[in-house]
Amino acid sequence: MTNTLTAPTAARGLVEITGVRKSFGATEVLKGVSLTVEPGGVAVIVGPSGSGKSTLLRTINHLEKVDGGHITIDGQLVGYEVRGDRLYELREKEILKQRTGIGMVFQNFNLFPHLTALENVAEAPVVAQGRSKEEARRRGLELLDRVGLKDRADAYPRQLSGGQQQRVAIARALALDPKILLFDEPTSALDPELVNEVLDVIRELATSGTTLVIVTHEMGFARDVADTVVFMDQGQIVEQGTPQQIFSNPQEPRTRSFFSKVLEPAFNI
Ligand SMILES: Nc1ncnc2c1ncn2[C@@H]1O[C@H](COP(=O)(O)OP(=O)(O)O)[C@@H](O)[C@H]1O
Ligand SMILES: [Mg+2]
């Protein structure tokens, strides 16, 4: 283990995943995954159900512990520290602190049902960062405005459509000013007519300088926003490259076979 692992760099939001392995019981679901996402980059992970996409995403903010390999953000190990030549898991408090730099948006929104849209967005900055309620509220309104929901600030989740709830969840993830945002199938639970309002918000974020790692089945969206498309199958990255390379000229038979099933024949790159 070299000490480059612990030396923070000036970059903001550089994700380096190196040889990550993860098993659930006897099943190895990540079989040595390595991936670099540059600061401000947009990586879109695609692949069949069960290929390990969500597990990989969850290792980035240490919601899953890794069994082998490691992940760094801006050169700093996620979830562990090096002492001597060994890795030790960080204490819960340290893990939570690290996690404030990494926002996550889930398929099912995960909003607090008893809090309004604005309260959902303004809660974490007060609790996790010690900001004043007034400041968190002001910033919360700005963020709701950014996702087109300023006029719904006082609505409860049950009074909002799925697309609106997901946009609140994105505003909430932004409230801690994360270097990195992780999206796990953010539109999969939505009615088709609500998908675009959420994708449009993510498109805007893609140009904002925040590093994005997105798991999605929306291939047109992936083609538009990704710097890097990553194709995963059976716990491994089979192939990665620009959207052009991966959609138009995949090299691996498994990639070709997957896209021949999920892409419309008229899909244009
Ligand atoms: N907490 C868990 N316990 C046991 N098995 C799990 C757990 N989470 C995921 N798995 C298994 O790991 C594999 C990869 O899952 P997942 O990362 O959710 O894939 P994907 O997101 O690509 O559909 C699947 O076989 C899944 O059943
Ligand atoms: Mg998944």
Residue nearest to atom 4 of ligand 1 (CA): 24
pLDDT of residue 11: 57
Q: Which atom of ligand 1 is nearest to the CA of 52?
A: 17
**Cα 267 to Cα 248: distance, rounded to the nearest angstrom:** 9
Q: Is the CB of 165 under 6 A from ligand 1?
A: no
The rounded Å distance from CA 6 to ligand 2 centre is 30
Average pLDDT over residues 105-119: 97
Which ligand is in closest contact with the Cα of 185?
A: 2
Average pLDDT over residues 89-108: 94
Give, for ligand 1, the residue of 23, 29, 63, 106 to mutate: max count of ligand atoms closer than 8 Å to Cβ.
29
Q: What's the predicted TM-score (pTM) here?
A: 0.93
Please say if the pLDDT value at position 195 is more than 70. yes
Residue nearest to atom 16 of ligand 1 (CA): 52
Which ligand is in closest contact with the Cα of 106?
A: 2
**pLDDT tens-digit series, residues 203-248:** 999 999 999 999 999 999 999 999 999 999 999 999 999 999 999 9
**pLDDT tens-digit series, residues 126-163:** 998 899 999 999 999 999 999 999 999 999 999 999 99
Q: Is the CB of 52 under 6 A from ligand 1?
A: yes
- Side chain identity at residue 269, one-letter code: I
Please say if the pLDDT value at position 10 is more than 60. no
Phi, psi of 102 (to 5 degrees): -130, 110
Q: Give me the chain's average pLDDT, please.
A: 93
pLDDT of residue 9: 47
For the chain, percent of residues with pLDDT exceeding 90 = 89
